[in-house]
Amino acid sequence: MNIVLFGPPGAGKGTQAALLVQRLGMFHISTGDIFRENIKNKTPLGIEAKNYLDKGALVPDSVTISMVDDTLAKLSGKKFILDGFPRNLNQAMVLESILKKLSLQVGGAIFLKVPFAPLIKRLTGRRVCKNCGAVFHVEFSPPKAAGICDKCGKESIYQREDDKEAVIEKRLKTYEESTLPLVEYYRKTGIYKEISGTEDTERVFEKIKQLIS
Ligand code: AP5
């Protein structure tokens, strides 16, 4: 089943998507990761997107939608996870027409529900590998050797610019205003599924697996 994985910043979308890729062979489409890759490579898209990411605001729909359209068009039959897209009602509606155009279907819109307090701790403590994208947490899942990625062995662990407290506040506000209304939107479409994201990573994964199998 193709799925949309959505929820607040730090809910664990990227962490769960990585497990779905590793264990179930799904294809991960993360708009946030695509933007960060472009920022790293200083492409025109990255230069434009950086202004928005640094402020915790959404990148304009015109840019984001065509990026997702292109990615979905290139999929070769693999089951996919949309992580971080759609992120507002307009994106959700346009996604429906893209899927129709490409004869694709999403069977579940899974909402990872986590209250704000744990999110702040998760985001301020998150560390990411610049080289391979592996995600760590200084307290909950630290790398074995400080600063060194367990997955690729490179000394490339860093803190995302938007994981500083001032930006986190803005991201949470953007989430409440733009993304939270997707809960009602997907409830009405009949594909809405909700999971508590406060349990440990393996339990959350098992629940997602049950929902999609
Ligand atoms: P994006 O990268 O999508 O950020 P986000 O949605 O804010 O989500 P995060 O990546 O912060 O969190 P996550 O849920 O993946 O959590 P993770 O698994 O890492 O987007 C970044 C920016 O790009 C946006 O602000 C916007 O500017 C732009 N953008 C992206 N998509 C867009 C769109 N569609 N339209 C417009 N603009 C867009 O986990 C977080 C931490 O918690 C980690 O340290 C992890 O180890 C830990 N953790 C995870 N699960 C658990 C658990 N169960 N228990 C304890 N700790 C856990």
**Is ligand 1 within 6 A of the CB of residue 122?**
yes
**Residue 160 a catalytic site member:** yes
DSSP classification of residue 212: H
Distance, in Å, from the CA atom of 126 to the CA atom of 120, rounded to the nearest integer, reads 10
Q: Nearest residue CA, atom 34 of ligand 1?
A: 85
Beta-strand (E) ranges in the chain? 3-6, 27-30, 80-83, 108-113, 126-129, 135-137, 157-158, 192-196
Please identify every stretch of the chain with a pLDDT value under 70, giving residue numbers as ranges: none
Q: How remote is the CA of residue 122 from the centroid of ligand 1, in Å? A: 10
Distance 156 CA to ligand 1 centre (A): 19
Ligand 1 centre from 13 Cα, in Å? 6
Q: What is the pLDDT of residue 211?
A: 95
What is the pLDDT at residue 32?
96
Average pLDDT, the chain: 95
d(CA 66, CA 98): 10
pLDDT tens sequence across 158-187: 999 999 999 999 999 999 999 999 999 999
Ligand 1 neighbour 38 (Cβ under 6 A) = no
